Amino acid sequence: MLQNEIPTKDWLVFDDTPSIRQTSIDVSLPLAPENELVMQKLIDFVRYSQDPQKNSGHTIRPAVGLAAPQIGHNLKMYYIRIEETDDETGDKKIIEHAMINPKIIGKSEQIACIEEGEGCLSVNCDKEGFVPRSFRIIIEGYDYLKQQQVTITARSYEAIVFQHEQAHLEGKLYYDLINKTEPWMKKSNWIIL
């Protein structure tokens, strides 16, 4: 964690700020020190938000991902951290990616939605409704944690998280995809997670 910097809600940019709707720019590699600091803040914020001891007072909402525009930097970077528990063994598995200049290079036609809808740290008043996204995606970019170019095939919930964060880099928010007249309308072939 950054020295003496505890993540707070003050780090966040909200959807009433024009910069959240701007398109992000590519980042040069290796990262310049100021961009490395941005990536470290993304990682620290999400990890801190998920830590029951550190975030015991729920000073910030637990997050599974955070994109650079959400902390005031329109750079193509985001961090994702998903904890999964194996239903059979009970083992915990952590999926984490710190993506730089990511691109979605393939999407399935199959649509999936999270049953309770999506939320976002940059949206103070949650907007309700189904957010249709591709069930499977292929994404490529540089993973800061692995220090290499990667190609990832993500499915189900992980694919939705990637698409949510990727949209931030395009200046889009989850509620842009909710049906305006019937927010909970779903098609029969959609997978509800």
Binding-site residue numbers for Fe cation are 120, 164, 168
* Residue among 88, 165, 170, 182 flagged as catalytic: 165
- Evaluate the CA torsion angle 132, 135, 140, 142 in order and state its sign: positive
Question: Other C-beta atoms within 10 Å of 152: how many?
Answer: 17
CA proximity to 166, closest of 81, 94, 106, 76: 76
* Binding residue positions: 120, 164, 168
- The closest of 66, 18, 23, 15 to 169, measured between CA atoms, is 23
Active site (annotated) includes residue 115: no
CB atoms within 10 A of CB 149: 12
- Catalytically active residues are 165
